[in-house]
């Protein structure tokens, strides 16, 4: 603690940040580590594992096609109306609490507008969003019962304004199983703020043993990547261009992106930019589909030297909020995986540079690839409501909840996470059988494609994943 205070005082006097992250020796390149210069003087450490596998002439399965069509209307008052235009995949995806499916549906999300809604409500969550799921392609509202007195306390619903813009999404994709024996499959892992590629150690080892080609970079200023001493080097756009360069360098024909926390935003960016190359996406505790905007009232707005003095408190807070249990095992996990071991300057610049206004709800709704959402039940950074809303906004998403995990669920419950991810890699929708019509025998309607949902997930009985 005393050393930290002295380093912070030295930082204030000299104006330089302590504990600057610098690249490690290139001798580790033989162990699967590479150093890629994404820009002049900007070097990222990348772990690239190409498994030694036999050449197997295994054809890919036929897979199945998923057709999704929806209409998104954005109003000037912040209201978002999503209309699913009746397809089999969505009918399988939307399940009610009792297991009944919802056919053609409309999801209406109304954002809070302080200027137009000054009256406080009893429920604080009611000011944020309101989702209505109905049938027949129209939003529904509770009808008054016969003979009941009108509720004068409720304000009349405002007339919907003229739409600001309307987006129609008509996507049809063929989704096939991705096995480790397929040479055209690559798996990318992207960590979040304060992490490093080492937090994916269990996942990289697991999938490389199964024959998958694995790529995991260190973000700038993290792990063993270079740490420029300029705040502009850590904005979302600068880091996104780094991930674009890594993706273009290592991408195969079918690529799977896996992101954690802030890293989910970069996977979203790549999936939106390269929909033909990105085959599937996994979002682990990534939060809601709102646009990124740094908080003005945050501890990370304090001077770098003050943050450096507070680094032990920040590390303790991260341990308490990031793990379901705070024992010696969790502390050792942080130490061994080089997590939350960044300089105060990098941490402050990363938190202040999270500005991405383009990544709003419509941006997320336009992503055509299948997405698996993994959420740790005890996550104190990302509420479960945000991932639930993300599952509603995304075109084709499946939400899985791990009961014993928190924000760092891939480190706490590696077996459960690995099982979920592998099942998602192998998942492909069933193609409806083609039956010839017979005039003498009444033919049954073909079954729709079975898509794993939040209720069944397509998990096998032997799955070790403890999910809800």
From the list 208, 226, 261, 343, the catalytic residue is: 261
Sheet holding 163-175, edge to edge: 106-110, 79-84, 64-75, 163-175
Q: Mapped to the 3 state alphabet, what secondary structure does 274-318 carry?
A: CCCCEEEEEEECCCCCCCECCCCCCHHHCCHHHHHHCHHHHHHHH
Q: Give the three-class secondary structure for 17.
A: coil
Strand partners, 80: 74, 109
What is the DSSP code string of 233-288?
GGSHHHHHHHHHHHHHHH--SEEEEEEETTHHHHHHHHHHH-TTTEEEEEEES---
Q: Rounded CA gap, 243 and 409, in Å?
A: 23
Tokens, residue 460: 């096998």
Q: In sequence order, which residues have a C-beta less than 8 Å from that of residue 205 and are 6 or more positions away?
A: none
Q: Which single residue is written with the structure tokens 């295994």?
A: 58
CA distances (Å), 462 to each of 211, 424, 459, in order? 21, 15, 8
What secondary structure letter does DSSP report for 353? T
Write down the catalytic residue from 218, 242, 379, 387: 379
Query: Does the active-site annotation cover 31?
Result: no
Please check whether residue 411 is in contact with residue 199, taking contact to mean a CB–CB distance below 8 angstroms. yes
Residue with tokens 């205070």: 5
Within 10 angstroms of residue 300's Cβ, the number of other Cβ atoms is 18
Beta-bridge partner residues of 171: 68
Q: Which of 182, 191, 308, 407 is catalytic?
A: 407
Question: Closest by alpha carbon to 402, among 324, 332, 318, 290?
Answer: 324
407 is catalytic: yes
Which tokens go with 232? 């502009």
| CA angle at 359 for the pair 370 and 352, rounded to the nearest 5° | 125
Residue 414, both tokens: 């590696």
Nearest to 45 by CA among 191, 157, 154: 191
Is 379 in the active site? Answer: yes
C-alpha–C-alpha distance, residues 323 and 408, integer Å? 6
DSSP assignments along 146-208, one per residue: TTPPP-TTSPPPPPP--EEEEEEEEEEEEE----TT-TTEEEEEE--TT--GGGGHHHHHHHH
Active site residues: 261, 379, 407
């Amino acid at each position: 603690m005393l050393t930290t205070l002295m380093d912070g005082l030295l930082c204030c006097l000299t104006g330089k940040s302590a504990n600057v992250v610098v690249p490690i020796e290139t001798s580790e390149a033989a162990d699967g580590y590479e150093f890629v210069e994404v820009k002049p003087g900007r070097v990222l450490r990348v772990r690239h594992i190409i498994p030694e596998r036999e050449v197997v002439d295994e054809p890919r399965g036929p897979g199945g096609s998923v057709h999704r069509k929806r209409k998104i209307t954005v109003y000037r008052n912040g209201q978002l109306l999503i209309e699913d235009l009746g397809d089999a995949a969505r009918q399988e995806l939307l399940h009610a609490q009792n297991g009944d499916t919802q056919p053609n549906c409309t999801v209406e999300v109304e954002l809070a507008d302080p200027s137009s809604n000054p009256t406080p409500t009893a429920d604080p969550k009611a000011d944020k969003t309101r989702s209505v799921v109905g049938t027949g392609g129209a939003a529904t509202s509770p009808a008054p019962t016969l003979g009941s007195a009108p509720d004068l306390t409720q304000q009349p619903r405002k007339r919907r304004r003229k739409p600001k813009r309307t987006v129609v999404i008509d996507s049809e994709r063929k989704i096939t199983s991705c096995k480790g024996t397929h040479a055209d499959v690559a798996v990318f892992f992207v960590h979040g703020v304060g992490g490093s590629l080492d937090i994916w150690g269990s996942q990289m080892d697991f999938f490389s043993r199964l024959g998958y080609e694995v790529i995991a970079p260190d973000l700038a200023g993290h792990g063993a990547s270079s740490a420029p001493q300029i705040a502009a080097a850590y904005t979302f756009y600068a880091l996104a261009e780094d991930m674009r360069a890594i993706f273009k360098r290592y991408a195969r024909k079918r690529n799977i992106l896996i992101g954690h926390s802030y890293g989910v935003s970069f996977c979203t960016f790549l999936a939106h930019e390269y929909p033909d190359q990105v085959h599937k996406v996994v979002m682990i505790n990534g939060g809601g589909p709102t646009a990124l905007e740094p908080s003005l009232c945050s501890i990370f707005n304090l001077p770098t030297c003050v943050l450096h003095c507070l680094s032990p408190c920040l590390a303790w807070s991260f341990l308490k909020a990031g793990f379901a249990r705070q024992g010696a095992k969790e502390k050792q996990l942080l130490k061994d995986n080089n997590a939350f071991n960044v300089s105060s300057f990098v941490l402050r610049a990363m938190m202040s540079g999270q500005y991405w206004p383009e990544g709003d709800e419509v941006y997320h709704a336009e992503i055509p690839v299948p997405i698996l959402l993994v959420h740790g039940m005890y996550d104190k950074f990302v509420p479960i409501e945000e991932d639930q809303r993300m599952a509603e906004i995304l075109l084709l998403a499946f939400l899985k909840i791990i009961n014993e995990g928190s924000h760092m669920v891939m480190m706490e419950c590696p077996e459960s996470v690995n099982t979920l991810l592998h099942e998602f890699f192998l998942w492909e929708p069933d193609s409806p059988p083609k039956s010839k019509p017979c005039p003498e025998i009444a033919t049954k309607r073909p079954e729709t494609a079975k898509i794993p949902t939040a209720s069944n997930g397509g998990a096998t009985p032997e799955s070790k994943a403890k999910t809800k």
